[in-house]
Structure 1
Amino acid sequence: MARPLICVTLNGCTVDEMLKDAARATAAGADLVEVRLDKLWVVEQMPDPDPSEEGKGNGEGERERPKFVEPEMIPQPLDSVDVHTALASLKQGIELPVVLTCRPERQGGHYPGDEGQRIEVLKAAIESGVSWIDLEVDMESKPRKALVDAAGDKTRVIASQHSSEQPPSASEIIQDVVDNSDAGEMVKMCYRTLGRHDGLRLFEAAWQLNGSGTPNAIMGTGSGGDWTRIHAPLLGQAMVYTTMEAGWHLSRQGRINASDLQTAWQLLEYETG
């Protein structure tokens, strides 16, 4: 079975942090990395610790596993980032092919400007000669077509949709992928998953799409969302989004560490090389 591309979404909210994570992704055997440009407009800040959680044990003389605390994303002014300088530094400092993404707030991103300003960022990303550009399918058709035309044959387009809702039926997911099959070289669908029932919907949709001729990546952001990532070779997924983060909290977020994923593929005999 074909090996999907392993894409590491880079951690960090500065160019330097992303470059360091890109070096780790290269060493881990990633095929490409995703740069979330919209994260340049936020600063990660850990909330103050909750005193009520300190010193808790499991009642058997052992401490409980520490509770994972999600960092707060503090928005920064639009003019705090020089896009062209950032793109030049990223291009120079990353060895692997790059997916450039600038996710809007409506799809869970952090870009603080209006849609016209975001489109200019995406245009600059394409002009930088990036390998892949992520363009949401809910963009207005005219500016999206202009970006696709600008991408031409040099920059491949990912047609993406990130929903804060739980996944619909498998047949509806399949229809969404088919409907957007001409919107890019690959269709990416991501939903909020809350457990095995949601995970099974994604798995069923990916299973039925295997061999359809439409390269796709289907995943969830929550419990059960990593099933299609772990079994991506079996499901014929084109690309798997991973992270260089490590920890038990990843599975609850539907994510997976890039090295752990490759180990899982070997254990499942999806990858023998």
Structure 2
Amino acid sequence: MRIDEAAEAYARHLADVRRLSPATVKAYRSDLAALAASCGDIGLPDVDLEHLRQWLWESVQRGEARSTIARRTAAARGLFAWATEEGYIPTDPSLRLIAPKRGRTLPKVATADTLDQVLTRMAAGAAQGDPLALRDHAILELLYGAAVRVSEVCGLDIGDVDHDRRTARVLGKGSKERVVPFGLPAQRALDAYVVRARPQLLARRTAGGSEHALFLGARGGRIGPRAVYDVVARELGPELGGAVGPHALRHSAATHLLDGGADLRAVQEMLGHASLGTTQIYTHVSSERLAASYRLAHPRA
């Protein structure tokens, strides 16, 4: 069996059996395609530890991030562990493959005042009645108000939102469903979009399949993550001084919740984190901000 053949079979296993998210499966596919290219024409049973180390060293030489190399290490380990269990290879060459330690990078967070200014400006633009402006305002209000992922927003259907209870049912990583609350500003923006903008966008649809989608693109189909990235980058990027994506709104929401005294486990549940340790990074963000304020304000700092 060739490496690329094994990689494709393993990717199907991740999607169909382990039910990992499409984004995770796509990333693993890309990593293992790079491994196959690095190893050349040798078969899967002929790959040894040195081949794997050389492949990772090539990533290091290209200046790839530690997190990327760590993910590639995990992809290789997963592939060879699976291949060993399935009997495709007699021994696992990745057992002694060591991943680099991930450096802790604090997420980029916007202040509450900054987000208030951005969303107020977007609300003023939406008031003019342009359907895309109404949609974009509703999306950013929901990204921040419910602390959801971009994939979760794009996957929402009309029936997933309870406007009376101000909750949305989202499908997170690993196909795990959860219900998240959102505030009155997000409700108002969503109501305005659904009533005034969505019918206009739906009328532009040229193909089927999007009639139940909540957020629609300019041509009437379900909006994709790339379009949401572009909106966030345009509206929030100048305020944060650089490239910024939808996750910045999720980071900001989590940090502001903890700053306001929310319970860490409640925030974990709202974000849909499997591990409390993932949520705890936002306590570090809050601590960093407190320390910065202390250094600026306290006379004996």
Provide the TM-score with structure 1 as the length reference: 0.25
Using CA pairs under 8 Å that are at least 6 residues apart, name the structure with larger relative contact order, 1 or 2.
1
Q: Comparing both structures, which one devotes a greater share of its residues to strand?
A: 1
Based on CA coordinates, which of the two structures has the bigger radius of gyration?
A: 2
